[in-house]
């Protein structure tokens, strides 16, 4: 099977590890072609299969969007692509059109709430919802919570839960040392409230049975976090190690546990470490059997887990030191999250897809080339909106898509000033969010 994977950017982080783990597990039996906007990664790929410098952006002009679609169609035809797999965010829209024009089925991965609530303007919200409700052949959700939300709130019937998987051979068992020293692994920027959660941890450290924390990671907020550690007088307990390309070699045999969230929690648990989950400005505690069940269901995202009080966390840590075997979940992680098991389910789902794309946007794409202004942002083009009214609205079966069209027509008909137009755009965004609460 020839699979075209499309993603806005590929640099470093959990999404990139997610994509690369499937490639590693399946590339002997299936052929992967990659289309990225920005590509800057040390992960190993066959470079001849990576195509980058697509425009995939919320500021793409009509002309740039057309170029992206043309390049994707050429890839699909030249590489005999059987299925397209797209990841958020603005890569979704040209991928959708290319799949329609080329007649190839398209699937996507729902990585969490942000995968669904990022559209901000009228045209992109309509295209996005049309994609989810009527174009995509299959949606893979990395969490059961996401799957349930899509099914219950969006009435989608083509959603499959495929958990974020991990290569249990690569993330082998590590030696855990009972030394009360912990490794915090995190990007040090505004991502998912992790820095604010680390601040809470550092504030609580005088009350916690933790002798030291080594912080692995870098980002725009590192300097401010280092200054905060000095203000707290914790320079001797908290050390900043920066980004380490061979991170896990630094961890093995040196730490009592891992502090982190999302992919870090998944990998730490797989290597046999006790893991203290934090994120979104709060601490969720050390994974025990009960918290692990909740974490597995929500992709180990802190916002979906209960907050842990300091006294409870103290008791958990003391139990980690006295009964370490109770916090070793490697066997469970190998059974539930091994990439080879998850990837087999992935391929089985792809093989069941129709061999043709759903819907038809060929005429829409052809007429997009005739739009008079190719320099305007595609998502702000009034001409594009009217083209959507002619070529998408009559065929959109979902009532919510029709509601969005009507709101867009009202916005234009009112000939409102910019502030009023922005207010209507905000109304549409709130409505989209309300449909996915």
- 16-50 pLDDT per residue, tens: 888 989 999 999 999 999 999 988 887 878 777 99
Based on the fold, state whether residues 73 and 43 are members of the same structural domain.
Answer: yes
Please state, rounded to an integer, the average pLDDT across all residues of the chain: 90
Based on the fold, state whether residues 225 and 305 are members of the same structural domain.
Answer: yes
Query: What is the dihedral angle through the alpha carbons of 91, 92, 95, 99, rounded to the nearest 10 degrees?
Result: 170
Q: Could you give the CA distance from residue 259 to residue 208 in angstroms, rounded to a whole number?
A: 14
Other beta carbons within 10 angstroms of residue 356's beta carbon come to 10
Based on the fold, state whether residues 132 and 261 are members of the same structural domain.
Answer: no
Query: Is pLDDT of 398 > 60?
Result: yes
Output the pLDDT for position 116: 76
Domain contains 155: yes
Output the pLDDT for position 429: 54
Find, among 69, 81, 71, the residue nearest to 30 by Cα: 81
Based on the fold, state whether residues 329 and 359 are members of the same structural domain.
Answer: no
pLDDT, mean of residues 254-272: 95
Find, among 416, 347, 437, the residue nearest to 122 by Cα: 416
Based on the fold, state whether residues 153 and 204 are members of the same structural domain.
Answer: no
Q: What is the CATH number of the domain that holds 145?
A: 3.40.50.2000
Domain contains 187: yes
Q: Could you give the CA distance from residue 151 to residue 275 in angstroms, rounded to a whole number?
A: 31
Q: What is the pLDDT of residues 420-436, one digit of tens each?
A: 444 444 555 555 555 44
Query: Is the CB of residue 151 less than 8 Å from the CB of residue 183?
Result: no
Q: What is the pLDDT of residues 329-366, one digit of tens each?
A: 999 999 999 999 999 999 999 999 987 776 678 899 99
Output the pLDDT for position 426: 52
82 versus 129: the higher-pLDDT residue is: 82
Based on the fold, state whether residues 126 and 68 are members of the same structural domain.
Answer: yes
Query: Is the CB of residue 407 less than 8 Å from the CB of residue 428?
Result: yes
Work out whether strand 2-10 and strand 83-86 pair parallel, antiparallel, or are unpaired: parallel
Q: Could you give the CA distance from residue 196 to residue 199 in angstroms, rounded to a whole number?
A: 5
Based on the fold, state whether residues 364 and 406 are members of the same structural domain.
Answer: yes
Domain of 78 in residue numbering reads as 2-165+353-434
Q: What is the pLDDT of residues 45-71, one digit of tens each?
A: 877 799 999 999 999 999 999 999 999
Q: What is the pLDDT of residues 135-183, one digit of tens each?
A: 999 999 999 988 998 888 778 889 999 999 999 988 999 999 999 999 9
Output the pLDDT for position 283: 96
Q: How far is C-alpha 62 from the chain's CA centre?
A: 26
Q: Could you give the CA distance from residue 388 to residue 367 in angstroms, rounded to a whole number?
A: 10
DSSP symbol at 3: E
Based on the fold, state whether residues 283 and 360 are members of the same structural domain.
Answer: no
Query: Is the CB of residue 319 less than 8 Å from the CB of residue 209?
Result: no
Domain contains 409: yes
- Alpha carbons within 13 angstroms on the beta-carbon side of residue 274 total 27
Output the pLDDT for position 395: 85
Query: Is the CB of residue 359 less than 8 Å from the CB of residue 131?
Result: no
Query: Is the CB of residue 36 less than 8 Å from the CB of residue 54?
Result: yes
State the pTM of this model: 0.86
Residue 149 neighbours by CB under 8 Å, 6+ apart: 436
Output the pLDDT for position 256: 98
Based on the fold, state whether residues 146 and 203 are members of the same structural domain.
Answer: no
Based on the fold, state whether residues 261 and 189 are members of the same structural domain.
Answer: yes
Based on the fold, state whether residues 52 and 152 are members of the same structural domain.
Answer: yes
In the chain, how long is the greatest CA-to-CA distance? 72
Output the pLDDT for position 423: 44
Query: Is pLDDT of 298 > 70?
Result: yes
What's the total number of domains in the chain? Answer: 2
Residue finishing a domain among 312, 337, 362: 337
Kindly indicate the confidence band of residue 134, based on its pLDDT and cuts at 50, 70 and 90.
confident
Q: Could you give the CA distance from residue 385 to residue 393 in angstroms, rounded to a whole number?
A: 10
Phi first, then psi: give them for residue 435, nearest 5 degrees. -75, -10
Least confident of 196-200, 296-300, 315-319: 296-300
């Amino acid at each position: 099977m020839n699979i075209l994977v499309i993603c806005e950017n590929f640099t470093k982080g959990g999404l990139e590890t997610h994509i690369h783990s499937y490639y590693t597990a399946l590339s002997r039996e299936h052929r992967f072609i990659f289309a990225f906007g920005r590509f800057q990664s040390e992960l190993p790929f066959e470079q001849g299969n990576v195509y980058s410098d697509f425009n995939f952006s919320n500021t793409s002009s009509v002309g740039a969007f057309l170029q992206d679609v043309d390049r994707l169609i050429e890839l699909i035809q030249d590489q005999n692509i059987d299925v397209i797999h797209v990841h958020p965010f603005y890569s979704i829209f040209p991928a959708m059109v290319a799949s329609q024009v080329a007649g190839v089925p398209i699937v996507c991965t729902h990585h969490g709430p942000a995968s669904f609530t990022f559209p901000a303007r009228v045209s992109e919200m309509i295209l996005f919802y049309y994609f989810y409700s009527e174009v995509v052949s299959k949606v893979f959700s990395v969490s059961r919570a996401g799957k349930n939300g899509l099914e219950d709130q969006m009435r989608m019937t083509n959603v499959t839960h495929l958990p974020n998987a991990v290569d249990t051979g690569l993330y082998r068992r590590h030696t855990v040392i009972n030394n009360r020293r912990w490794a915090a692994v995190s990007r040090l920027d505004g991502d998912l409230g992790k820095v604010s959660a680390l601040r809470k941890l550092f504030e609580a450290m005088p009350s916690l049975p933790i002798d030291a924390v080594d912080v692995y990671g870098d980002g725009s907020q590192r300097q401010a976090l280092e200054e905060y550690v000095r203000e707290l007088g914790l320079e001797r307990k908290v050390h900043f190690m920066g980004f380490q390309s061979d991170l896990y070699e630094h961890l093995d045999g040196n730490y009592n546990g891992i502090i982190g969230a999302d992919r870090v929690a998944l990998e730490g648990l797989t290597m046999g470490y006790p893991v203290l989950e934090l994120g979104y400005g709060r601490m969720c505690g050390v994974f025990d059997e009960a918290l692990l069940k909740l974490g597995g269901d929500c992709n180990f995202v802190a916002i979906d887990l209960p907050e842990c009080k300091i006294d409870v966390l103290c008791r958990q840590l003391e139990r980690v030191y006295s009964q370490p075997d109770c916090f070793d979940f490697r066997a469970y992680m190998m059974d539930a999250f091994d990439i080879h098991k998850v990837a087999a389910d992935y391929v089985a789902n792809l093989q069941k897809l129709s061999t043709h794309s759903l819907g038809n946007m060929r005429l829409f794409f052809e007429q997009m080339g005739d739009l008079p202004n190719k320099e305007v942002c595609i998502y702000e083009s009034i001409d594009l909106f009217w083209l959507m009214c002619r070529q998408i609205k009559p065929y959109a079966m979902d009532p919510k898509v029709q509601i969005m069209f009507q709101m867009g027509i009202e916005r234009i008909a009112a000939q409102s000033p910019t502030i009023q137009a922005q207010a209507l755009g905000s109304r549409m965004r709130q409505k989209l969010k309300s449909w996915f609460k």
